[in-house]
Amino acid sequence: MRNIFWSNIFKSPTGELQSIVELWKDTPLFENIPTTHIKFLSKKMHVRNFTTDEKIFQLGSQGAGALMVLEGSVRIMAHKTELAFLETGDFFGEIALAEPEKRTADAYSVANTRLVYFLKQDLEEWIEYEPRLGARFLMNLSATLAKRLFLANKTIANQ
Amino acid sequence: MPEQVSIKTQNAYAQTFKIFVCMIAIILAGFYLLSSVIIPIIISFTLYAIFEPATLYLVRHNVNHSLAILIVLVFLIFFTFIAIGFAIPQLVEQIGLLQAKLPSIFTKLEGFLTQYSAEFSEQIGIDLNVSDMIISTLSQSSSLGQSFLLNISNRLLGFTIVMLLVPFLTYYLLKDFRSVRNHMMNWLPNASFELGWLIYHRVSQQLQAYTRGVMIQSVTMSLICMIGFSLIGLDIPILLGAITGILNLVPYVGPVISILLSLLVASAMTPFDPSLLYLGVLVIITAQVIDNVVVIPAVIANAVNLHPVQVILGIIIFGSLFGTLGVVLAIPAIATAKIIFNNLYADILNESQKQSL
């Protein structure tokens, strides 16, 4: 626990920024967004360390932004049902980029995990001076959310 | 079931209150430790809130960060010197005029009150002896004023030295505040990391909007009153307008004091023109109407969402605890406290509801 605490305070290893940029670049959220801008945003992101079975967030809590798995794995649960198992490069909690009110599921780290927080406030600041790219990002976000809604509907229909 | 919900709500309130009181205690201790430099810190943070967008704008246009800050600060210092060079001689002249007028203002006030107290005494049949009361009050206020002036001149040197900190603090805030802030937020445990950022974001948004709004509001009020007072021919229009703009920082109470001040100045003018009394009040009321109809909806609306009763109580409590500084800081402090309390409460309530499932 103490190690996690101190590792959250001190800087991420050098070179990690580049891998964060590469991982975000491969996600649908940053489709058609220039790498320089992904790098600019990645510099503002926050890397946090979680121990095995640590709660990342819980259903109903307020969300500050989206998260991406940098190392390790994450389990997404709702009412004791596993919704997803995420590994390096997967992202979750992106609803909070659109609506910060409530998290819609619980998230736990499965092993020792490093996560990258992409905060809504940094996105808003970026959109303010890059409205054209910001609109593209928001379209990507809408498409991602629509896809997740479609999958959720399909799961419910199959039950 | 509803009883369980109510107990959970009460427990969440109690827990939030405990954490909140601890936070307030830590903040007050910090204020106490920094009390000798608290004014330059507040001014520097205000300047930071005002000038950070300009710095970021330059940085986004490929200007080096340190150079961008220097450009902004050079502009700030340049315009401050121009403003001081233009305003100080006029203000000194007008303060001299006001000083010369004070005895006649007091004499007129005394004559006015003596006359009305005599009429009032005749009507109710009791001798109120208001004249003696006024003379004693005026002599007390005069000695108080003298000691106040002496106190001010003694403290002026120390204050000037402390105020020299402002440009340096502002420079380092503009340069390093974000990285220091990020570093400090990293100290939060994982469970509170998101909540911490949410609260920070909401508080900073509100404070920045409030600071910018209040600055625009004060300047607008000052300009309207300066022009208005000049047009009606009231003495010391620039000083009076500037004071009205500054007093506008204190809601409800400030405008009343500025009206009283304009009445005093108008009543001391020779030859005495009664119409100036009404016109002076009219200028301030017009400025207040413009403020409430145009400036507040455009720049301060939604910046703070507080009930008027909360505002008035806050001003009284903060004023009695921290003096003039408390009166000015009451609204942003209450708005900040409200955001922190509400967010903590929502989080603790959600946690307790989740645990009981």
Q: Which residues pair with A74 in a beta bridge?
A: A86, A109
B38 and B183 both lie in a single domain: yes
Which among B209, B174, B160, B167 has a CA at the least distance from the CA of B80? B167
Q: Does A37 touch chain B (CB under 8 A)?
A: no
User: Is pLDDT above 70 for B61?
Assistant: yes
Report the distance separating Cα A103 and Cα A100, nearest Å. 8
Asked whether residue B23 is domain-assigned, the answer is no
Identify which of B60, B187, B350 has the shortest CB distance to residue A61.
B350
Q: Which residues pair with A67 in a beta bridge?
A: A92, A117
User: Is pLDDT above 80 for B224?
Assistant: yes
Q: pTM, whole model, 2 decimals?
A: 0.76
- Amino acid letter for position B285: I
The domain tally of chain B equals: 2
* Average pLDDT across chain B, whole number: 79
- Structure confidence at residue B357 (pLDDT): 61
Chain A residue whose CA is closest to B344: A62
B115 and B213 both lie in a single domain: no
Residues B197, A119: C-beta atoms closer than 8 Å: yes
- Structure confidence at residue A34 (pLDDT): 94
Residues A104-126 have a mean pLDDT of 92
Residues B101-125 have a mean pLDDT of 71
Contacts of B215 by beta carbon, 8 Å cutoff, 6+ apart: B46, B50
More confident call, A116 vs B218:
A116
- Structure confidence at residue A92 (pLDDT): 93
Q: What is the sign, positive or negative, of the torsion defined by CA atoms of B100, B101, B104, B110?
A: negative
Residues B195, A64: C-beta atoms closer than 8 Å: yes
The domain tally of chain A equals: 1
Lowest-confidence segment of A131-145, B35-49, B174-188 by average pLDDT: B35-49
B169 and B227 both lie in a single domain: no
* B102, two tokens: 């004070």
* B117, two tokens: 């107290």
Which among B170, B209, B166, B217 has a CA at the least distance from the CA of B336? B209
- Amino acid letter for position B256: V
Lowest-confidence segment of A123-127, B187-191, B253-257 by average pLDDT: B253-257
- Structure confidence at residue A157 (pLDDT): 84
Asked whether residue B97 is domain-assigned, the answer is yes
Neighboring chain B residues of A9 at a CB cutoff of 8 Å:
183, 186-187
Q: Does B186 touch chain A (CB under 8 A)?
A: yes
Report the distance separating Cα A91 and Cα A87, nearest Å. 9
What b/e readout covers A88-110, taking b as 16+ CB neighbours within 10 angstroms?
A: eebbbbbbbbeebeebbbbbbbb
More confident call, B160 vs B282:
B282
Residues B195, A62: C-beta atoms closer than 8 Å: yes
Q: Does B60 touch chain A (CB under 8 A)?
A: yes
- Structure confidence at residue A85 (pLDDT): 93
B24: closest CA of chain A, how far (Å): 23
3-state class of B143 per DSSP? helix
Asked whether residue B49 is domain-assigned, the answer is yes
Report the distance separating Cα A74 and Cα A88, nearest Å. 9
* Average pLDDT across chain A, whole number: 88
- Structure confidence at residue A12 (pLDDT): 58
Report the distance separating Cα B337 and Cα B206, nearest Å. 12
- Structure confidence at residue A122 (pLDDT): 92
State pLDDT tens for residues B114-157: 777 777 777 766 665 666 666 666 566 555 555 655 565 566 56
Report the distance separating Cα B284 and Cα B225, nearest Å. 7
- Structure confidence at residue B284 (pLDDT): 84
Residues A54, B354: C-beta atoms closer than 8 Å: no
Q: Which of A48, A67, A92, A127 best probes binding to B when mutated, by most B CB atoms within 10 angstroms?
A: A48
Residues A57-82 have a mean pLDDT of 90
Residues A55, B191: C-beta atoms closer than 8 Å: yes
What b/e readout covers B184-200, taking b as 16+ CB neighbours within 10 angstroms?
A: eebebebbebbbbbbbb
Lowest-confidence segment of B95-109, B171-185, B205-219, B324-338 by average pLDDT: B95-109
Which among B132, B143, B90 has a CA at the least distance from the CA of B110? B132
Grade residue A39 by pLDDT with cuts at 50, 70 and 90.
Answer: very high
B174 and B42 both lie in a single domain: yes
- Structure confidence at residue B346 (pLDDT): 86
Residues A9, B187: C-beta atoms closer than 8 Å: yes
* A84, two tokens: 């997803």
- Structure confidence at residue A14 (pLDDT): 59
A58: closest CA of chain B, how far (Å): 8
- Structure confidence at residue B331 (pLDDT): 83
B54 and B151 both lie in a single domain: yes
Q: List phi, psi (to 5°) of A92.
A: -155, 170
State pLDDT tens for residues B156-212: 566 677 777 888 899 999 999 998 999 899 889 998 899 999 999 988 888 888 887
User: Is pLDDT above 80 for B18?
Assistant: yes
Neighboring chain B residues of A115 at a CB cutoff of 8 Å:
none
Residues A50, B343: C-beta atoms closer than 8 Å: no
Report the distance separating Cα B137 and Cα B142, nearest Å. 8
Lowest-confidence segment of A7-11, A38-42, B58-62 by average pLDDT: A7-11
- What residues make up the domain containing B236? 205-301
Q: Which residues pair with A116 in a beta bridge?
A: A47, A68
Q: Which of B52, B63, B186, B354 best probes binding to A when mutated, by most A CB atoms within 10 angstroms?
A: B186
- Amino acid letter for position B305: N
User: Is pLDDT above 60 for B316?
Assistant: yes
Lowest-confidence segment of A43-57, B131-145, B259-273, B292-306 by average pLDDT: B131-145
User: Is pLDDT above 50 for A1?
Assistant: no
B135 and B231 both lie in a single domain: no
Residues B69-96 have a mean pLDDT of 77
B181 and B277 both lie in a single domain: no
Q: Does A8 touch chain B (CB under 8 A)?
A: yes
Report the distance separating Cα B29 and Cα B11, nearest Å. 27
Residues B194, A9: C-beta atoms closer than 8 Å: no
DSSP B292: I
B180 and B210 both lie in a single domain: no
Q: Does B346 touch chain A (CB under 8 A)?
A: yes
- What residues make up the domain containing A121? 2-158
Q: Does A6 touch chain B (CB under 8 A)?
A: no
DSSP letters for B194-226: HHHHHHHHHHHHHHHHHHHHHHHHHHHHHHHHH
Neighboring chain B residues of A119 at a CB cutoff of 8 Å:
197, 201
More confident call, A56 vs B91:
A56
Which among B28, B340, B46, B37 has a CA at the least distance from the CA of B199? B340
Neighboring chain A residues of B192 at a CB cutoff of 8 Å:
none
B128 and B264 both lie in a single domain: no
DSSP B357: -
Report the distance separating Cα A27 and Cα B207, nearest Å. 35
Report the distance separating Cα B342 and Cα B294, nearest Å. 30
3-state class of A24 per DSSP? helix
B179 and B44 both lie in a single domain: yes
Q: Does B9 touch chain A (CB under 8 A)?
A: no
Residues B100-107 have a mean pLDDT of 71
| Ramachandran assignment for A11, one of left (phi > 0), alpha (psi -120 to 50 degrees), beta (any other) | beta
3-state class of A113 per DSSP? strand
Neighboring chain A residues of B346 at a CB cutoff of 8 Å:
62
More confident call, B91 vs B212:
B212
* B273, two tokens: 């023109």
B199: closest CA of chain A, how far (Å): 9
User: Is pLDDT above 60 for A81?
Assistant: yes
Residues A59, B354: C-beta atoms closer than 8 Å: yes
Given B255, B274, B301, the domain boundary residue is B301
Chain B residue whose CA is closest to A126: B60
Residues B186, A46: C-beta atoms closer than 8 Å: yes
> From the CB of residue B64, how many other CB atoms can be counted at a distance below 10 Å?
11
B49 and B158 both lie in a single domain: yes
CATH code for position A48? 2.60.120.10
Grade residue A47 by pLDDT with cuts at 50, 70 and 90.
Answer: very high
Residues B343, A56: C-beta atoms closer than 8 Å: no
ipTM over 0.95: no
